[in-house]
């Protein structure tokens, strides 16, 4: 074991050899957190400090758990017997299988997987007379899961539900719970809820589980939610031997219920904690770490770490400001081609805030025949909402397209079900007409409701003909998306719905762009069809296109972080909430620290939005980067995009005031000028996130978030001395400073 300890740096060794009591390991990106966890387990077993039955190690993915077990067994040179290494859900399931009655379950309960859950929610919706197309089961499940993981019960939510959306969700949730009970199944969230209930209810169960978790180790602690924290606290025995490994700077799952305070306030939850910081990075070059560190240092909600590397050298981080999104995609593709001689395509990634941003990159890579893969999602033209929109567009432009008609005749739901389609098929067979043409004749066997729905459906396309004659193609597509009801299908703040609306907006942008290249709508539809036909990408060896959330835990030789503009990164949803803004900064930090050798940041001075070219506002995060670690390789302010950024003229100049000269995309011969400051913020009135305030008791602080309005307004304030407080400004008598 001494030989193993020699492979660790001093902080890693301190964590691995820690004795009794709670231990918090703050492990920066690329600092060897998995090594610390696995070596600590091996050290406990090899030294006789613990036997296998006393060790429980939990993490968030099956892949991570398998890797952890394999590494421990490799270090020990033997199988790990008796100890538990797995996910929170697997750990909870073991409790439920052993003590089903205490959890209120049948001994023969089954587990509902994702498909099962969606099927049950769909059934719940139909029993309530609600259309699954208007209330997508996936989105409903996401909302329910978010509430459960924040510790909200169905009873409490139902009692406090306000407005039609919440009332509907409460009804669906209640019916969903009844259907699960009738089927004797539990979903993934139930595992945590019921396991926690069992250990709280029965002291003997709690004692048994605690004995098997005498040494309790938790990976990715920053991602724990209220339920998981509750379970950990309940089963931790009097020894308090909890080893938590995490990085508050990589906490990016607040929307899923992750509680950042679990790691920020760890010592309050577990008194007597030993804190070890892992700050030596073994992944990235010094310039990458300097840029990422400078960015994340702007966050208030952090423990404070400064990553460093013992390796010297490394190329500067590059910033490229394109005239538009197509120029951004071209420059990135140039960079990929320039780096391909030294790096495999699979070791390069284009990271972005949302899936909607993939389209111009997919098109450019396809055009150049550069293999790529979209990680964690479908390629743009394969997404259901895009296929629906294209079907509407084909019907409006090309006429009675059979496949398009069948796809969208009841999307959004308009009461044209399978029985109605059967009537139309019989009419088509009898008349020899195509199905859409037969439908236009409104066969006599149709129900009155179906007849009315079809009349409205076909009227949409007669209206479309008039609108097409009056509107530009991009505006026409925007009109069609609204008139068809596709936009309305995805109203609401649920993440899935927001993403689908953004994808539809990207489609309108694609049409508007095509118009600038001289394409009409027929040409556009043909080009899309050819894209789909020739889209044989997706090979594992291709360039990775993915969102920042999907990139968590991965690393690449070269990373292109795209779309650094206010509204994209940080996302528009974070504008009025400083806590959300800090999570956006953490997302950017995660993206930057995925890079081993090459990091390039890109943005555009303008983008097509809502069918029109709009000037952008460059990301405020750019002003938080160190000038001496950056190279500006931007295009001059000119080109087909027209217009300028909303930033001051200084943002378009280098540090000396001279115009920046264009430079090549990343390669071994690429050099550019150092980056200058770019970001300015607007003024506002009233209480705003970011305002400095003073309280007579708590002292000075900064507003993190404003919640509610009028007399219900509450401010979340981070005070320099007192920490985070939620206050009513009129009662607290806050003053701005």
Percent of the chain with pLDDT over 90: 32
Per the residue annotation, which of 54, 187, 190, 220 is the catalytic one? 220
Phi, psi of 160 (to 5 degrees): -100, 5
Per the residue annotation, which of 189, 219, 248, 513 is the catalytic one? 219
pLDDT of residue 12: 94
Per the residue annotation, which of 594, 596, 607, 673 is the catalytic one? 594
Per the residue annotation, which of 13, 33, 585, 586 is the catalytic one? 33
Q: What is the pTM of this model?
A: 0.74
Geometric angle at alpha carbon 436, from 431 and 441, rounded to 5°: 55
Q: What is the pLDDT of residues 11-67, one digit of tens each?
A: 999 999 999 999 999 999 999 988 999 999 999 998 988 888 899 999 988 888 888
Strands 723-727 and 714-719: antiparallel
Distance CA 497, CA 510 (A): 20
| 117 annotated active-site | no
pLDDT of residue 531: 60
Strand order in the sheet with 630-632: 372-374, 543-547, 348-352, 556-561, 595-604, 317-322, 630-632
Q: What is the pLDDT of residues 487-499, one digit of tens each?
A: 888 876 666 777 7
| 219 annotated active-site | yes
Is the distance from CB of 606 to CB of 591 less than 8 angstroms?
Answer: no
| 178 annotated active-site | no
- Which of 440-447's residues contact partners 24+ apart within 8 Å by CB, and which partners? 440/400, 446/420, 447/420
Using 50, 70 and 90 to split pLDDT, how confident is the model at 505?
confident
Burial class (CB in 10 A: 0-12, 13-18, 19+), 250: buried
| 382 annotated active-site | no
What's the mean per-residue pLDDT of the chain? 83
| 565 annotated active-site | no
* Residue among 92, 260, 386 at smallest CA distance from 723: 260
Is the distance from CB of 69 to CB of 96 less than 8 angstroms?
Answer: no
- Residues whose CB falls within 8 Å of the CB of residue 249, separated by 6 or more in sequence, listed in order: 28, 29, 296, 299, 302, 305, 586, 589
Please give the helix or strand (H or E) that residue 217 lies within, else none.
Answer: strand 215-218
Helical axes 473-484 vs 521-534, angle rounded to 10°: 80
Per the residue annotation, which of 243, 250, 357, 505 is the catalytic one? 250
pLDDT of residue 176: 93
| 526 annotated active-site | no
661-694 exposure pattern, b = at least 16 Cβ within 10 A, e = fewer: eebebbbeebebbbbbebbeeeeeeebebebebe
99-103, 583-587, 671-675: range with highest mean pLDDT: 583-587
Distance CA 640, CA 189 (A): 51
| Longest CA span, the chain | 87
pLDDT of residue 342: 87
Using 50, 70 and 90 to split pLDDT, how confident is the model at 108?
confident
Give the E-state strand segments of 233-344 in sequence order: 242-246, 274-278, 317-322
Q: Count the alpha carbons within 13 Å of 459 in the hemisphere toward its beta carbon.
A: 7
Q: What is the pLDDT of residues 549-596, one digit of tens each?
A: 999 989 999 999 999 999 899 998 887 788 889 999 999 999 999 999
Distance CA 265, CA 321 (A): 40
Average pLDDT over residues 409-419: 81
Distance CA 97, CA 106 (A): 10
pLDDT of residue 647: 32
Distance CA 727, CA 716 (A): 6
């Amino acid at each position: 074991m001494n030989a193993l300890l020699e492979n660790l740096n001093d902080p890693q060794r301190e964590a691995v050899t820690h004795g009794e009591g709670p231990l918090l390991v703050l492990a920066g990106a690329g600092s060897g957190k998995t090594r610390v966890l696995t070596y600590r387990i091996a050290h406990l077993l090899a030294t006789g400090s613990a036997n296998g039955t006393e060790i429980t190690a939990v993490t968030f993915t099956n892949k991570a758990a398998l890797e952890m077990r394999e590494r421990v067994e490799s270090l020990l040179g033997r199988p790990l017997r008796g100890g538990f290494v797995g996910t929170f859900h697997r750990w909870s399931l073991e409790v439920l299988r052993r003590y089903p009655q205490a959890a209120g379950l049948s001994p023969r309960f089954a587990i509902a997987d994702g498909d099962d859950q969606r099927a049950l929610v769909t059934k719940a919706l139909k029993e309530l007379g609600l259309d699954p197309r208007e209330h997508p089961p996936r989105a409903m499940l996401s909302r329910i899961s978010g509430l459960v993981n924040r510790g909200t019960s169905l009873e409490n939510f139902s009692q406090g539900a306000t407005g039609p959306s919440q009332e509907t969700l409460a009804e669906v949730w209640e019916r969903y719970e009844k259907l699960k009970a009738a089927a004797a199944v539990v979903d993934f969230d139930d595992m945590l809820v019921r396991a926690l209930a069992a250990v709280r209810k029965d002291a003997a169960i709690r004692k048994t589980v605690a004995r098997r978790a005498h040494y309790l180790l938790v990976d990715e602690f920053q991602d724990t939610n209220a339920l998981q924290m509750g379970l950990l606290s309940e089963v931790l025995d009097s020894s308090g031997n909890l080893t938590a490994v995490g990085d508050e700077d990589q906490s990016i799952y607040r929307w899923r219920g992750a509680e950042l305070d679990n790691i920020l306030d760890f010592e309050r939850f577990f008194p007597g904690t030993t804190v070890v910081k892992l700050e030596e990075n073994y992944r990235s070059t010094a310039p990458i770490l300097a840029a990422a560190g400078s960015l994340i240092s702007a966050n208030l909600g952090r423990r404070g770490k400064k990553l460093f590397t013992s390796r010297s050298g490394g190329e500067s981080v590059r910033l490229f400001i394109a005239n538009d999104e197509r120029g951004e995609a071209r420059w990135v593709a140039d960079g990929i081609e320039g780096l391909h001689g030294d790096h495999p395509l699979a070791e390069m990634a284009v990271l972005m805030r949302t899936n909607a941003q993939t389209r111009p990159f997919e098109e450019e890579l396809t055009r150049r025949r550069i293999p790529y893969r979209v990680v964690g999602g479908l390629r743009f033209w394969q997404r259901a909402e895009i296929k629906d929109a294209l079907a509407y567009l084909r019907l409006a432009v090309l006429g009675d397209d059979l496949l398009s008609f069948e796809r969208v005749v009841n999307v959004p739901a308009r009461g044209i079900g399978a029985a109605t389609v059967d009537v139309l098929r019989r009419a088509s067979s009898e008349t020899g007409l195509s199905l859409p043409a037969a439908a236009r004749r409104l066969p006599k066997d149709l129900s009155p409701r179906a007849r009315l729905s079809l009349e409205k459906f076909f009227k949409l396309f007669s209206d479309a003909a008039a609108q097409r004659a009056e509107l530009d193609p991009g505006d026409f597509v925007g009109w069609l998306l609204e008139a068809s009801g596709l936009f309305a299908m995805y109203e609401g703040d649920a993440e899935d719905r927001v993403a689908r609306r953004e994808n539809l907006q990207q489609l309108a942008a694609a049409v508007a762009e095509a118009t600038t290249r001289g394409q009409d709508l027929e040409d556009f539809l043909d080009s899309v069809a050819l894209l789909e036909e020739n889209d044989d990408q997706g090979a594992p060896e291709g360039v990775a296109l993915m969102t920042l959330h999907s990139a968590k835990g991965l690393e690449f030789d070269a990373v292109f972080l795209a779309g650094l503009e206010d509204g994209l990164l940080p996302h528009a949803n974070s504008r009025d909430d400083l806590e959300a803004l800090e999570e956006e900064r953490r997302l950017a930090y995660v993206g930057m620290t995925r890079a081993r050798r090459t990091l390039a940041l890109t943005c555009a001075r303008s983008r097509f939005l809502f069918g029109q070219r709009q000037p952008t506002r460059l990301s405020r995060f750019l002003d938080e980067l160190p000038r001496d670690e950056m190279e500006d390789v931007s295009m001059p302010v000119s080109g087909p995009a027209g217009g300028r950024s909303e930033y001051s003229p200084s943002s378009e100049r280098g540090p000396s005031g001279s115009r920046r000269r264009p430079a090549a995309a990343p390669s071994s011969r690429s050099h550019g000028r150092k980056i200058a400051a770019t970001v300015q913020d607007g003024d506002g009135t009233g209480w705003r996130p970011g305002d400095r305030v003073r309280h007579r008791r708590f002292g000075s602080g900064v507003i993190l978030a404003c919640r509610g309005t009028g007399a219900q307004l509450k401010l979340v304030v981070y005070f320099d001395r007192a920490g985070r407080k939620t206050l009513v400004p009129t009662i607290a008598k806050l003053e701005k400073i």
